Each structure stands twice: as C-alpha cells, then as structure tokens.
Amino acid sequence: MGRLSIDFFGETLDNPVIPASGCFGYGYEFAELYDINVLGTFSFKGTTREPRFGNSTPRIAETSSGMLNAVGLQNPGAEKVISEELPKLSKVFRKKVMANVSGFSVREYAETCEMLGREPQVGWLEVNVSCPNVHGGGMSFGTDCSQASEVVRAVKAVTKKPVIIKLSPNVTSITDIAKACEDAGADGVSLINTILGMRIDLRTRKPVLANTYGGLSGPAVFPVALRMVHQVSHAVRIPVIGMGGVSSAEDVLEMMMAGACAVEVGAANLVDPYICKEIIETLPNAMDRYGIESLRELQKEVK
C-alpha cells in the first residue's frame, strides 16, 4: 500500500482525493482531460428519482473568493443515470464510484438509493439532505434531527451499500444532526455542503440569482468547513468526509488533521479542471514538508 492510501468504509482507496458532487459531472467529461483513475473515487452529480431541469437562470454568480450556485439539482433522473451515464463511465473509470442522491420525500430518497445501490459500480451512497437550492426538499431534511433520521432509516432498509449523509452547514448545531444520523444507522457523514448566500445587482437593484439565494462555495468557506469537520469528528464515531473550499494538498492535510478520513474537492474543479490530479501529485511533497510518512497516520490520530 502506498503512503497516500487510506481506509474508506472497508475499502482501500489509492488516495483521499474525491471530486465532489455537482463539480465533476458523471466523470467521463473529465476523462477527456486526464486519466481519472488517479482519483481515490468521485461523487457523481446529484441524482433524483425523476429528471429535473433545475432552477431558472441566472443560477451562477461569482464572489470575491468563491461562487454562488442555485443550479437546483438538474439531472436526467435515476433511470437515465443507470442506463446511459454509468455505462459511459465504466469505459473510462475502473474503480467504484460514489452515487450522490437527493429527494423530495423520504420515499423518493429510498427508491432512488435502492435503484442506484443495485449497480455494481456504485460503491457508496452519499445521501444529500443539505441542498439549499431547491424548494420542498434537500436542505429541509438536513436541518431537523428527526427528518434526517427518518431518511437514514429508510435508505438503510433498502441497501447494503455504505450510506454517507451529506450535512448542511445552515443549521444551529451540525453536531446534533450528525449524531442523529449516526444513531439512525448512517455509516458516515460528509460535510459541508454550501453556505446559503446572495448577491445583488447594483444596477437593477435585484438579486443576481433568479432563485434569490444560492449556495456559497470556494476558498471563502474553508475555515468554516474545517471547524465543522473538527466538531463533528469529535462528536461521532463514524467516519467523516471533509469538504468545503479545498483547493490544495495543504488543505487536504488540514482537513485530515481536523478529523476527515477523506476529502472532497468541489468548486476548485470549475476553476482548474486538473486540480484534483495536481493535488494528488503534490501531496507527497506536502507530506514531506510536515513530517507525515503516510496518510493512515493522520487517520489513526483522529480524535
């Protein structure tokens, strides 16, 4: 095993770098640029039971140190992902992939997870109860302990694949939500999703985004994400995947020192499509600078 390899829900990943959902499509687009098998794995675009067109435009806005998005879970639906997207992916990616699932009811979460969980290439289910850009679903399940628990129990009842709950930072206490998910049977949690924000066009005096609000991601959220990963990793016994503003090998090491078992990279992929490859390539030198022999050392030091 190499010095970058990590333990990940009973599997061994070559490294902890995982492109985050919504920032890497279904993978094969990036395979045109480089061999995506260098990745630990990746989380594919958030998928719902039925196709979704997403929110009205404009739905992307830049900020001084990040971006706002209100895409609204645009995706072709679970059946098309299974019949079209995964077969394309299997031609360029030989590893297991993480399926990101969203829903508008507990039943929909369960049905979509059951469908995707039957696919051999899907190794893990990342259940998104934290999307701030849709109405009547997503984040509404992730801001209430009882609703989050209900989703966890429903999904665990229909699949044997590891279930990872993606948590929202837009709550009073993210540790309470994390502990509720753990108590309900979640195998792990991932955090943070985007922070709710907005921009106003000074000329029109109206919100820039058609949705008014959107999710803030990018370097601006990194310190907040790091703090929340640290808090949650000390509050639960299940593995924590860290994300939020990660854009360098040093950021990965910080996340792992805060308690993350692996690290997702989101908005940085939209700025530099080679960023995950570059982070993996520069990790050994960064580890040398800080006296880290292997990343498993950091996993053992957690808590």
Q: Give just the sign of the alpha carbon dihedral 76, 82, 85, 89.
A: positive
SS (H, E, C) 199-266: CEECCCCEECCCCCCEEEECHHHHHHHHHHHHHHHHHCCCCEEEECCCCCHHHHHHHHHHCCCEEEEC
Active site residue 131: yes
Residue identified by tokens 């079209």 is: 84
- Among the listed residues 113, 131, 145, 276, the single catalytic one is 131
Measure the CA–CA gap between 21 and 154, rounded to whole angstroms: 22
**Amino acid identity of 221?**
V
Tokens of 205: 């005096």
CB–CB of 33/55 below 8 Å? no
269's CB contacts (< 8 A; 6+ apart) are 19, 20, 23, 24, 30, 275, 276
Active-site annotation, residues: 131
